[in-house]
Amino acid sequence: MTAKTENKEKRIGLFVCHCGVNIAGVVDVEKVAQVLTDSPGVTFSTDYVYMCSDPGQQMIIDTIKEKHLDGIVVAACSPTLHEKTFREAARLAGLNPYQIEIANIREQDSWVHTDKEKATKKAVKIVKSHVAKARQNENLDPIRVDVTRRALVIGGGVSGLQAALDIADQGCEVVLVERSPSIGGKMIQLSETFPTLDCSQCILTPKMVEVSRHPRIKLLTCHEVDSISGFVGNFKVRIKKKPRYVDETLCNLCAECEKVCPQVVPDEFNMGLSFRKAIYMPFPQAIPGTYTLDAEHCLGLNPVRCGKCKDVCDKKAIDYDMKEKIVEEEVGAVVVATGYDLYTMQALGEYGGEKYEDVVNGLEFERILSASGPTGGVMRRPSDGKVPKSIVFVQCSGSRDTEKHLPYCSKICCMYTAKHAMMYRHRVPDGQATVFYIDVRTGGKSFDEFYMRAVEEDKVLYIRGKVSKIFKEGDKLIVWGVDTLTGKKVEVEADMVVLAMAIVKADGVQNLVKKLKISTDIHGFLAEAHPKLRPVESLNAGFYLAGCAHGPKDIPETVAQASAAAAKVGDLFAQKELLHEPTIVPVNDELCSGCGICVTMCPYAARTLDPARGVVVVKEILCEGCGACAAACPSGAAQQRNQTDDQIFSMLRAMLRE
């Protein structure tokens, strides 16, 4: 790509935008337009108050037609904002959209300078360089690719269920992958839900059943995503099937196996507050409705050592020889709904670490409150089963603590603590509920009314201040805190303490994001493409976010986000074919020496070395046009379209020549 592509005859039109006073206040826009008239290739030059307005765009369209322009430079704001607008205008005028060039004289000039003379000089240089580039721009067409109208949803909590149902109801197939034996997530463990106090299981189980019966949803529990390849619209997913050792199609839930199993282990569903057998059903409404054998705690999957469960199973559903398996699925979009975990007790040494049985976290307390919980819904404390007459609730346990713990707000704890205290007062009417808080944050529909009900009707005592220490003295837990409204130290004796534990990223999500190549924030929560305008998409195309994997949020917000992610998947699937930016970096076979440097530079795995031909080949659809390879290529074989080395040097010359 040398001089032959430089079209000396090219007719460039220049449009300089005032952006009100945003640009014109600092840059002499008229002068810029006037100085550039003499530049090589420029056949038309003008300025206008708002280029992005309808009349502004019309002016471009009309001028292209009248003056037979074949290249346009718009000197305005950042191309991230209006490049699309002006490309569309060019298209309407019959000009190839990739003949549009944006010279950013706002963010890179008028907004960061005050000296009008110097800023104008800089604007001239910026515009000149883009004119030089525009003279060498080629006509390009978007790269087109088909879409697989099938979605993968990772995570079977409420967000994953909602996303799966919505996508399936739009008419597309869904593969729902859940790593544990049943869907339901954290929500199925909750007792009641704020602010309406409806039973969590009662509102979630219908959705779980719907998912399991939906003709377009393929439910894969005990499965984990192993690897993913491909690109938006065309992913290939390898999914690891972990052995359940029970054939779910044969198991009839007779429970005989459970009765004979000699191995007793803490029950995860009840947060370790009760026990289950090594062969078990996570909870009565578990879906799929089948027993699962926990190999880690089984005596050895060996009929010589035990084999009791296998002996009693009439249906011959138990198979000790099940092996891990890989299944492959092809999908076009991925919804990541991997949920959250709670901050660990061990991290809170000031609250006893894990030393005190009667200091529990919010999720453990949910199980104690739940009718299906370890105490059958009767309020009893874990250590000795006594009915606690005084409970202290500690909000922000681990949250909002820049010094020692996590700096962010876990968002749902204010509301569920109000609920916990309220439920406790309903169960134990003569019990004392005390809440320590920093602030009570009740931003949500009917939330503040709910909190006020806890204070006024249920007489929950709220103390504004943090708890410094919890320790045991005899039978009682002593809670030291401060009342910051009176400025006094407070000491409360309690039978039980409930910590509103901070929400953290789900265990193992860091491995998953590496496989998916999607980004997270510094706390490990999934990062959205734009915090305001693209809240449910990942920057990596084809990946969508839902639920607490993205950050702490309550059930209504989780469900809304899941539906939004599903709608976005619907957008993608509604397209006949996907268009990909053509400004990629192809390989010039004649120049490529096959050194492979660009292969290692590519962050998108778009480039591979063809050993037979000794040259690099590019998967165009994967190339995001970052240019890392072009910069690294020693032979000049990797040239980015409309950003060739030649163009870059022309830009530099235009800029540096006085």
Partner 1 sequence: MKIHYYPGCTLKQKTTALDISTREAMKRLDIELVEPEGWSCCGAEYPLTEEKIAGLAAPIRVLRQVRDEGGDVLVTTCSFCFAVLKRADKAIKDDPLKHKRINAYLRDDIQINPLTKERTTGFEDYNGEVKVLHLLEFLRDRVGYLKIRERLKRDLKGLAVAPYYGCRVLRPQKEMAVDEPDSPRLFEEFLQAVGCAAVDYPFKQECCGSYLSVSLPAAATEASYRVLRSARMNGAKAVAVTCPLCFYNMDHRQDAIKETFLDFTGLPVVFFTQLLAWALGVEKSMLGLGEHRVPADSLFSEAPATEVRT
Residues at the interface with partner 1 (CB under 8 A) = 348-350, 353, 469, 471-474, 478
Of 352 and 570, which has the nearer Cβ to partner 1?
A: 352
Residue 627 amino acid letter: G
Q: Which residues pair with 103 in a beta bridge?
A: 75
**What DSSP string describes 346-414?**
GG-GGGTTT--TTEEEHHHHHHHHSTTSTTTT----TTT-PPPSEEEEEEEESSS-TTTS--S--SSHH
Task: Quote the longest CA-to-CA distance of the chain.
Answer: 94
Answer positive or negative: Cα dihedral of 362, 365, 369, 374: positive
* 221 or 397: CB nearest partner 1: 397
CB of 351 to partner 1, least distance (A): 8
- Measured CA to CA, the distance from residue 604 to residue 141 in angstroms comes to 21
C-alpha pair distances (Å), 79 with each of 120, 356, 384, 582, 617? 20, 58, 66, 16, 30
Pick the closer one to partner 1 by CB: 468 or 486.
468
Q: Output 353 or 556, the one with its CB closest to partner 1.
A: 353
- DSSP 8-class letter at 107: I
Please report which helix (H) or strand (E) contains residue 15, including its range.
Answer: strand 12-17
CA 286 to chain centre: 27
Shortest approach of partner 1 to residue 499 CB, angstroms? 14
Least distance in Å: CB of 572 to partner 1?
A: 48
Reduce the DSSP state of residue 45 to 3 states and report it.
Answer: strand
Residue 433: beta bridge partners?
391
Closest separation in Å from C-beta 336 to partner 1 = 35
CA-wise closest residue to 86 among 36, 143, 130: 130
Instruction: Closer to partner 1 by CB, 386 or 469: give it.
Output: 469
Burial 261-299 (b: 16+ CB within 10 A, else e): bebebebebbbebeebbbbbbbbebbbbebbbbbeebbe
Dihedral angle sign, alpha carbons of residues 392, 397, 400, 403: positive
Q: How far is the CB of 394 from partner 1 (least distance, A)?
A: 15
Query: Cis bond leading into 586, ω under 30°?
Result: no
Angle, alpha carbons 285-289-291 (nearest 5°)? 110
In 3D, which of 504, 502, 483 has the Cα closest to residue 492? 483
Nearest distance, CB of residue 8 and partner 1, angstroms: 60
Q: Which is nearer to partner 1, 355 or 653 (CB)?
A: 355
User: Residue 156 has what DSSP assignment?
Assistant: -
Q: Minimum distance from CB of 471 to partner 1 (Å)? A: 3
**Nearest to partner 1 of 203, 347 (CB atom):** 347
Report the DSSP beta bridge partners of residue 297. none
Query: Minimum distance from CB of 469 to partner 1 (Å)?
Result: 7
Cα distances (angstroms) measured from residue 24 to each of 48, 404, 534, 538: 10, 49, 31, 36
Residue 240 or residue 472: which is nearer to partner 1 going by CB? 472
Tokens standing for 114? 């005050």
CB of 354 to partner 1, least distance (A): 10
Closest to partner 1 by CB, 472 or 619: 472
Element (H, E) at 84: helix 79-92
Choice between 359 and 513, CB closer to partner 1: 359
Q: What's the closest the beta carbon of residue 344 comes to partner 1, in angstroms?
A: 13
Query: What is the distance between the alpha carbons of residues 581 and 610, in angstroms, rounded to a whole number?
Result: 24
* Nearest approach, Cβ of residue 368 and partner 1 (Å): 25
Distance of CA 612 to the CA centre of its chain: 40
Element housing 225 (H / E): strand 223-231
Kindly tell me which of 403 and 658 has the beta carbon lying closer to partner 1.
403
Q: What angle do CA 460, 463, 466 make, to 5 degrees?
A: 130
Minimum distance from residue 479 beta carbon to partner 1 (Å): 12
Please list, in sequence order, all residues whose beta carbon lies within 8 angstroms of the beta carbon of residue 127, skipping any fewer than 6 positions away.
14, 16, 32, 36, 73, 75, 103, 105
Question: What is the closest distance, in whole angstroms, from the C-beta atom of residue 350 to partner 1 in the complex?
Answer: 5
Nearer to partner 1 by Cβ, of 217 and 406: the residue is 406
Taking the least distance from each CB to partner 1, the nearer of 472 and 515 is: 472
366 and 413 in contact (C-beta within 8 Å)?
Answer: no
User: Residue 426 or 472: which CB sits closer to partner 1?
Assistant: 472
CA 380 from chain centre, in angstroms, equals 38
**Rounded to the nearest whole angstrom, what is the least distance from the CB of residue 352 to partner 1 in the complex?**
8
